Structure 1
Amino acid sequence: MPATEIPIPNPPPLPSHLPDSILDLAIIFERKELPAGDRKGLRAFQRAGCYITAAMIFLRDNVLLSSPLKTSDIKPRLLGHWGTCPGLVLIASHLNLLLRNNPSLKMIEVIGPGHGAPAALATLWLEGSLAKFYPGEYDVSSSGLYNLITRFSVPGGFPSHINAETPGAIHEGGELGYALAVSFGAVMDNPDLVVACVVGDGEAETGPTATAWHAIKYLDPGESGAVIPILHVNGFKISERTIFGCMDNKELVALFTGYGYQVRIVEEMEHIDNDLQGSLDWALGEIKRIQKAARDGNPIIKPRWPMIVLRTPKGWTGPKEVDGKLIEGSFHSHQVPLPKAGTDDGQLKILEDWLSSYQVKDRLIVDGKPTETVTRILPQDEERRLGQLETTYVPYKELKAVDWKPFGVDKGSEQSCMQVTGKFLDAVFQSNPTALRLFSPDELESNKLSAILDHTSRNFQWDEYSRAKGGRVIETLSEHDCQGFMQGYTLTGRTAIFPSYESFLGIVHTMMVQYSKFVKIARDVPWRGPLASINYIETSTWARQEHNGFSHQNPSFIGAVLNLKPEAARVYLPPDANCFLSTVHHCMHSRNYVNLMIGSKQPTPVYLTPEEAADHCRDGASIWDFASTPGSPDVVLVGIGVEVTFETIAASALLQSICPSLKVRVVNVTDLMVLVSESRHPHALSKEKFLELFTEDKPVLFNYHGYPTELQGILFARENVARMSVAGYIEEGSTTTPFDMMLRNGVSRFDLAEKALKAAAAEGKNEDIKQGLDGYLGEIKKKVKEVREFINSEGKDPDDIYDMPKFN
């Protein structure tokens, strides 16, 4: 890529309101000349990488231009994103040289512009990483190169975005915004790891990226590695300018200096290789300086971590102009700069001239192998190349198990699921000081999990009271950061927990889905090892709000998890503290799942001993004899969720009190997935077990924590579902009392008892119920009226409303 072939854009004018010293820190640095052989090697690697990248987008044959291009050599569907790729190839070449020159360095690359997969795959082929993981298919050979180019973005080949099939990748590249947070999560408790994170200037406009710049404030250099953010500014998105592309250098330096970074701006195309490699050397030196001070016991107060702003023209080295439109340096190069190459002779000729300009055949690639000039910049130890570090593909570290049963509480007591779980997690953190973290919005105390802090602390490095003390807990008000940190931490082998208010987990819905897509593909990639599951604890639920109102009532994240593939989705609604302990213990030792655990922070009854809870959670659902009447039931009441299960038990007690002839069975479901048809989920109850719990033909009334349609969808494939009804959250709420929320949403004991009586009467098999129905319903309506009047007059629930019901 001779620099003389590249037009150098005029930089935007500099404003005068900022002191020159800020800009000087970023731009005026001593330029060091690379050895001539290294400069030549970098350029050779870059030219070869850009050629392969472009060929992957366009060619289905004649992959090294052994003959003049014909329309039959062009793929029928042109898919890919060229514009970002030359810059990505440039960065990859320099990272490999940095690794070669620093034999002890452990580095991986996270590529934010995820649709830059052609560049990533091209450089991975050149460095031999594709050959390692796909022997015989993508070898460093003529056939391997042919397969790479012709199979790209076609069925059976690599997709157009970075995913789990890409060696070295630890995030799904289909949606922008997550790369930086994932990178910081990866280096936490990985003291020797450096992640070079490329952030595109379009991606930098996203909310998740905007908050992730602050992750340096949570990075303890004494215990963790480091991230080198590389903001790649090429000026354009799909068809519009970028915000960061329109910022001049002083504005960029002022912004990121304010965020806490030292900034280097690399933009002079004439000296791009000297300046980029020199800046990477500088960044690595700054990282070592900051880490050494911390590890020697003299941590730097508010260390200023290095970052690089790299300006290159979009679509660099590609066509300059096509059909009168500027391509290089404009948004027209974003995707396919020659969309008619397969049908238009003029564009076909431009493509041939473009590919030929790299002079690859017989100069850089001979007999299907890169020449020594191309490979001289690579680390000699192949396992240290960007695509081959074991951290990215065989990382899983099993947690040291802690027995949860000693933390169990007495049956018959009232306990907060979260307070009890906090004490257990405190012990787990002590046993796993570098393999487990908790990422949470500012909600740990309000969710009553603060016992976690008994032997650890919050990790916030910009605060004088917590810096340089480690800490297993990171609290930041960005759910996006919490999710990104958790993903990076998990994808590099550790285990993480994300507790949150129920109503706001939906903020990370798409991030969770993208992660699950990565894991889904990873499960089928033979060279990738298992991963710890990601674990959500959902509390502060709609059913027991304190001072919050309608805005804090939203259980929709359940549906988000249910929509995942059955192999990935797990939703648990433990009914009491002992069941919650059992569930948390199980989830932290599970693999490859998205686990959602929903519980209450308020004290609620404990129905089961630890041993009974273990059995109940193992089965996923069971009949609760203590709340049921003996014998074959007239109606089955099912509770799924802490508060609605209590109402289910209370409904059974109410029915037994006012209508003793009604036979009631109470069932609790703690693993939501057991209700799915047995052909659709590995946790599903067999048909025989399902009927054993719910009978073959009796009315079944579900009292469900989430939206009724979710559970209706789960039950759809079961036989005889017409006899089943579902009550759940129906978007009725306000700043009101907990029991009034039950009434408003039709899940109170009174609603359930009324439905049970009507269902049994409709069956007509119990004459007493049929004849006395109006009287029974009248008695229930009277109780509802009394409770409503009390709530309205006193502003609280009746004092005895949450007393555990008495059964004969």
Structure 2
Amino acid sequence: MPDAEHPGTVLTDEELRTLDAHWRAANYLAAGQIYLMSNPLLTEPLRPEHIKPRLLGHWGTSPGLNLVYTHLNRVIKARDLNALCIWGPGHGGPSVFAGSWLEGSYSETYPDVTRDAEGMAKLFKQFSFPGGVPSHVAPDVPGSIHEGGELGYSLAHAYGAAFDNPDLVVACVIGDGEAETGPLAASWHSNKFLDPVHDGAVLPILHLNGYKIANPTVLARLPEPELDELLRGYGHEPIHVTSDDPLQVHRAMAEAFDAALDRIAELQRTAREDEGAERPHWPVIVLRTPKGWTGPAEVDGEPVAGTWRSHQVPLAGVRENPEHLRQLEAWLKSYRPEELFGADGRPRADVLACVPSGARRLGATPHANGGLLVRGLPIPSLDDFAVPVEKPGSALHEPTRVLGALLRQIMKDTATRRDFRLVGPDETASNRLQAVLDASGKAWQAQVLQVDEHLDRHGRVMEVLSEHLCQGWLEGYLLTGRHGLFSCYEAFVHIVDSMVNQHIKWLKTSRRLPWRAPIASLNYLLTSHVWRQDHNGFSHQDPGFVDHVLNKSPEVVRVYLPPDANTLLSVADHALRSRDYVNVIVAGKQPCFDWLSLDQARAHCARGAGIWEWAGTENGAEPDVVLACAGDVPTQEVLAAAQLLRRHLPELAVRVVNVVDMARLMPREEHPHGMSDFEYDGLFTADKPVIFAYHGYPWLIHRLAYRRTGHRNLHVRGYKEAGTTTTPFDMVVRNDLDRYRLVMDVIDRVPGLAVRAAAVRQQMADARTRHEAWIRDHGTDMPEVADWTWAS
């Protein structure tokens, strides 16, 4: 609030009048979008045919959002501010459409929606209308990077946008319903990771209008001192704006914004001049306005404005109810549109007096169209990081440790440009990626103790035990034109299932908008996976994120299961260079056999699925059986099974197929990476048994391949919720994915083998029994398993 050093903002009468004009115009346009399909300027009496047949949208939050838009315009113009706004309230579309139309950025993006009466009519009709635009602040809205359909992520997105953007101020409007969510509650801690030297600033605006759909909101009902204590405990200095008087609220908002921005400038200046400055306590604006403010005070004898009844459509039966129609006309005319728009529908000069110009407009900032800013990531040659492979299966490496060396070099090569970050829930070293810490420490602005390691006020490795924050930070970072990687335990990436849903939908929608430039892909590295949870057990075993992602838009999602270190390097190189995808890479951190040289790995990854001739025994003949695999542990078990078959049934023609790109199993008509039926049948055959060892839930493979000719011959082994704390090999035995079970499956399914190879099958069953007794006596896997190599 104003003090002796910052005495506050004094608006002139002219400034007050023009700010109010802009706000009234935005309110008029927001209400018009919900109701009108013609007669946009009310130049004739309002009739039922002017009203949309289906009234969709949300009025309650709109006046408060319009107020923020108006006052952001003022400070951006007055200070020549580089700003972005994240609109958190779920259904704020009418306000942001209105603001961008008034400033002209909407018409520049969509030239048919001109800034005049004809364009206003189109703006109104298209809102929540077939063939039009959604009610949320979706990708269609210029200036947006945040889909408002699912609540909880606005503040994390705001911080992601601010990281490594030192000149950017990111305003973030947080609805009081959204403030009740777990992800948003955790997001308040993001300020402990914001570097005031190299990062921009985030200005949270907590918008308390008191209600959700039908209930009061928690923070709006807290006494102001208690709310202050909460926000101060989060590390913020609250600035309160509370008013239901339209003129007074403009004065209070102007004072609040100027005080907040002065404070931000002071904190950044201090930090950038004094490296030892204490962690900043950033301002937060608490804006209290009535829900549905300026709308109908009462409808059908019930209070509306200031209550939950104004959340969506305050006047519902407008076409059928003459009294509602009369009230709507009076409501719209209360904004005095004739003072705001000329006869041609163009906004008058008073309305636009506060609006900035060019790229400073909220709807035109390039930070909200990150593909305009993104640069290619400097990825060094993989030859410098690949492991040598003289003979398949003769040596072991930890794949993620090998990848860590590549990521370290990328982190070094982006040290000056600062546009690459690694995020993860406190698992960088656990996931064997700690090499990156040689190039950048872990971002941290809170207290540092002598025992701490790798904490760095300017670090770009980000660890926090909230998958939601990791996801939100990285999304905001990518959407504003940078690159990154999210490393996570496989079982717990499910925590962000809903968030990745929204990002995939954002990317799918963005792809059909020619004005949105492609952004760097969202890349997941899932490790510490289901098959190697030796000390964590069942709670840490869930490979289902792949299933979840492959249900989504095929033009956006990609899933890779590299079987060794060099294939992981090749896949990661491809993913980090890609645009507009969600890439999921599943790779182990435990020692894993090296199967392919770098050149072989590149060729294999380019194919996505292929025959490993050196592992099979078909020798140019038609195979009797196909052993297929996807994932590092399944690949090892398939190769061990192939070796057993070579030893015990040398006359059997065995083909070994490894799948890296899971989408290759899908029909080409369903996914861009899918195989044609001709390709699929050539690889897997149309009529031979296929024993498929898969990393995750086996039914996924059936779902991907159910339309194939040979699907009836497909038998899949995978994880079936038989988890516990046990030895590595016992995990595959418990889930029937082990080498002995795979040999038994071959014998059971190749015609003629059931009788001829009965003794071999019995040996395999006995090995499983022997294994069970061994681990209970020794606590380790049998030597024949623990010491196995392909060359043995």
TM bracket, shorter-chain basis: over 0.9
Is contact 1:55–1:149 with CA below 8 Å preserved after alignment?
yes
Partner SS, residue 336 of structure 1: coil
In structure 1, the partner of 2:153 is 178
SS of the equivalent of 2:709 reads: coil
Give me the whole-angstrom Cα distance separating, in 2, the residues matched to 1:206 and 1:28. 37
Within 5 Å, give how 1:51-66 maps onto structure 2: 51-66=28-43
Cα deviation for residue 805 of structure 1 reads 3.9
Given the alignment, which residue of 388, 393, 415 partners 1:410? 388
Residue 486 (str. 1) matches residue 474 (str. 2): yes
Letter in 1 for 2:407: L
Query: Deviation at 1:31?
Result: 4.8
**Cα distance in 2 between the residues matched to 1:363 and 1:688:** 65
The residue matched to 2:554 in structure 1 has which SS?
coil
Aligned pairs (5 A) from 1:297-446: 297-379=274-356, 381-393=357-369, 394-411=372-389, 412-433=394-415, 434-446=418-430
CA–CA separation in structure 1 for the residues paired with 2:5 and 2:419 = 42
2:716 pairs with 1:726: yes
- The verdict on how the C-alpha distance between 1:363 and 1:590 changes in structure 2, with shifts beyond 3 A counting, is closer
The gaps in structure 2 that reach 5 residues or longer are none
Query: In the TM superposition, what is the alpha-carbon distance from 1:467 to its structure 2 partner?
Result: 6.9
- CA distance in structure 1 between the partners assigned to 2:791 and 2:243 by the alignment: 81
Structure 2 counterpart of 1:692, one-letter code: G
Does 1:107 pair with 2:83?
A: yes
* SS of aligned partner of 1:369: coil
1:114: how far off? 3.2
1:794 paired residue number: 778
Range moving further from structure 2, 303-312 or 61-70: 61-70
Matched, 1:461 2:445: yes
- Equivalent AA in structure 1 for residue 772 of structure 2: R
CA separation in 1, counterparts of 2:725 and 2:483? 37
Paired position in structure 2 for 1:126: 102
Instruction: Name which of 182, 189, 198 aligns with 1:207.
Output: 182
1:18 counterpart residue number: none
Are the aligned partners of 1:25 and 1:264 in contact in 2 as well (CA < 8 Å)?
A: no
Contact 1:758–1:773, Cα closer than 8 Å, also in 2: no
- Matched residue SS, 1:493: coil
Query: Does residue 695 in structure 1 map to residue 685 in structure 2?
Result: yes
Could you list the per-position Cα deviations for residues 297-323 of structure 1 after superposition, in whole angstroms to 9, with x for gaps in the alignment? 434212101110000000000000111
Q: State the Cα distance separating 1:67 from its structure 2 match.
A: 1.4
| CA distance in structure 2 between the aligned counterparts of 1:471 and 1:51, rounded to whole angstroms | 46
Alignment RMSD, CA only? 1.7
- Summarize the Cα distance change of 1:26–1:348 in structure 2 as closer, same or farther, 3 Å threshold: farther
Q: 1:240 aligns to what?
A: 215
AA matched with 1:537: L
Aligned to 1:282: 259
1:424: how far off? Answer: 0.9
How far apart are 1:402 and its partner, in Å?
1.1
C-alpha distance after superposition, 1:578-622 (max 9, x if no partner): 100111111000011000000110001000111111111111111
Greater alpha carbon shift after TM alignment, 390-399 vs 218-227: 390-399
The within-5 A match list for 1:343-742 is 343-379=320-356, 381-393=357-369, 394-411=372-389, 412-433=394-415, 434-464=418-448, 469-629=457-617, 630=619, 631-742=621-732
Q: Are the structure 2 counterparts of residues 806 and 525 from structure 1 closer, same or farther at C-alpha, using a change threshold of 3 Å?
A: closer
| CA spacing shift, 1:93–1:583, aligned 2, 3 Å | same
Query: C-alpha distance in 2, partners of 1:441/1:547?
Result: 18
Letter in 1 for 2:518: P
Give the distance between the partners of 2:455 and 2:273, measured in 1 at CA.
15
- Show CA shifts across 1:653-694 (max 9, x none): 112222222221111111111111121111122333323321
**How many angstroms apart in 1 are the aligned matches of 2:467 and 2:329?**
48
Taking structure 1 as reference, are residues 468 and 38 closer, same or farther at Cα in structure 2, changes over 3 Å only? farther
Q: Which residue of 2 aligns with 1:3?
A: none
Residue segments in structure 1 that go unaligned for 5+ positions in a row: 1-23
**In structure 1, what is the Cα distance between the partners aligned to 2:220 and 2:118?**
40
Q: CA deviation at 1:777?
A: 1.5
SS of 1:689's equivalent?
Answer: helix
Q: Deviations over 1:760-797 (max 9, x none)?
A: 1xx34xxxx34323222111111111111101222221
- What do the CA deviations read for 1:186-238 (whole angstroms, capped 9, x no partner)? 11111111111000000000111001111010010111101100000000000
Contact 1:220 1:468 in 2 (8 A): no
* Separation of aligned partners in 1, 2:340 and 2:118: 18
Q: Contact 1:221–1:290 at 8 Å: present in 2 too?
A: yes
Q: Report the Cα offset of residue 362 of structure 1.
A: 4.7
Question: Which of 39, 49, 53 matches 1:72?
Answer: 49
> 2 CA distance for matches of 1:523 and 1:287?
36
SS of 2:179's partner is helix
Task: Quote how far apart the aligned CAs of 1:746 are.
Answer: 1.1
Q: CA 1:366–1:45 in structure 2 vs 1: closer, same or farther (change >3 Å)?
A: farther
The correspondence for 2:203, drawn from 210, 218, 228, is 228
Aligned to 1:780: 764
Closer, same or farther: CA 203–638 of 1 in aligned 2, 3 Å: same
Partner amino acid, structure 1, of 2:38: D
More deviation in 75-84 or 692-701? 692-701
Determine the C-alpha separation between the residues in 1 that align with 2:405 and 2:456: 24
- Taking the TM superposition and a 5 Å limit, the aligned residue runs for 1:79-118 are 79-103=56-80, 105-118=81-94
Which residue type is aligned with residue 572 of structure 2?
V
Q: SS state of the match for residue 801, structure 1?
A: helix
Residues 428-461 of structure 1, C-alpha deviations (whole Å, 9 max, x = no match)? 1111221110111011111111111112100011
Once residues 754 and 154 of structure 1 are traced to their aligned partners in structure 2, the CA distance between those partners, rounded to angstroms, is 59
Give 3-state SS (helix, strand or coil) of 2:693's partner: strand
Cα offset for 1:139? 1.4
| C-alpha deviation, 1:27, in angstroms | 14
Structure 1 residue 405 displacement after superposition: 2.1
Q: Tell me if the contact between 2:442 and 2:456 (Cα under 8 Å) persists in the aligned partners.
A: no
Letter in 2 for 1:679: E
2: CA distance between counterparts of 1:27 and 1:520? 52
* CA drift at 1:737: 1.4
TM-score between the two structures when normalised by the length of structure 2: 0.96
The one-letter code sitting in structure 2 at the alignment partner of 1:436 is F
Call closer, same or farther: CA 1:318–1:28 in 2, change over 3 Å.
Answer: farther
Amino acid at match of 1:203: E
> Share of identical aligned residues, percent?
42
Q: CA deviation at 1:366?
A: 3.6
For the 8 Å contact 1:27–1:264, the answer to whether it is kept is no
Given that 1:573 and 1:670 are in contact with CA atoms closer than 8 Å, whether structure 2 keeps it comes out as: yes
Q: What is the distance in 2 between the residues matched to 1:45 and 1:366?
A: 17
- Mapped partners of 1:423, 1:720: distance in 2: 42
